[in-house]
Amino acid sequence: MSFSQEAWKRNQDLYQATLNLPFNQELAKGTLDKDAFCHYVIQDAHYLVAYGRALAVCGAKAYDTDDILQFTDAARGAIVVERSLHDGFMQQFGITKEQFEHTPLTLACHHYTSYLLAVAWSESYPVVLAALLPCFWIYAEVGKDIYDKSAPGNPYQAWVDTYAGEEFNASVRRVIETVDKIAAGCDGCTLQKMHEAYTMAAKLEWLFWDSAYRRQQWPGLDKFSKP
């Protein structure tokens, strides 16, 4: 069994729990509260900048030139998508540049991005790959489920359609192939660290969507003034 097959099997229940989150279910039905969606878009834009940095570090640690190109291109892609959010969905849903710039990372977004960047800088290439994989893979699979269930006239249809793009799904398949290629040459200790990194990132994927639905910030700290 490949690393990716084993990782998916180990985390099947977590993936199902992610599918079942109210955010994703209501997004598919078109009944998701607009404020929750806007909260998500803002945090997603913040997240993509950090994810792009982590992908760039991953590319720097890659073992061969093909992998360097794969992940430096992916880093650039993350930033391109982040910028497109400003020109697309933020404008569509009335999110101003000032609102975005003055909205800090939520606890969930800060936790997720800090984890990915810490792994990217401190761990070996195989472990970095495993930590980055859930954002590609789980996002794609959840997206397919939402796309298949999307209700007619869904006000979020343009967003839902982004999940179905063949270019994105092809890139996900390439990342899975790369992870499996690298994992095939790893010892047992490294494989265990890879599984731990994958599971932690998968948990943070769940948390990111759940936090967006609840529009959670930093509990108990909102009474303190911003620096």
CA distances from 192 to 7, 45, 61, 178, 220 (A): 10, 31, 19, 18, 36
pLDDT above 90 for 178:
yes
Domain membership flag for residue 172: yes
Domain membership flag for residue 223: no
User: Which residue, among 36, 35, 92, has the nearest Cα to 208 in the 3D structure?
Assistant: 36
Domain membership flag for residue 222: no
Do 116 and 201 form a contact (C-beta atoms < 8 A)?
Answer: yes
Domain membership flag for residue 225: no
> Can you give the CATH number for the domain in which 132 is found?
1.20.910.10
51-63 pLDDT, tens digit per residue, is 999 999 999 999 9
pLDDT of residue 83: 84
d(CA 146, CA 143): 5
Domain membership flag for residue 210: yes
Query: Measured at the alpha carbon of residue 114, what is the angle toward residues 21 and 116, in degrees to the nearest 5?
Result: 75
Domain membership flag for residue 55: yes
**The total number of structural domains that make up the chain:** 1
Residues contacting 47, CB < 8 A, separation 6+: 109, 112, 113, 208
Radius of gyration of the chain (CA): 17
pLDDT above 80 for 68:
yes
d(CA 31, CA 25): 9
Confidence of residue 21 (pLDDT cuts 50, 70, 90): very high
70-121 pLDDT, tens digit per residue, is 999 999 999 988 888 877 888 888 888 888 888 999 999 999 999 999 999 9
pLDDT above 70 for 222:
no
**Domain housing 172:** 3-216
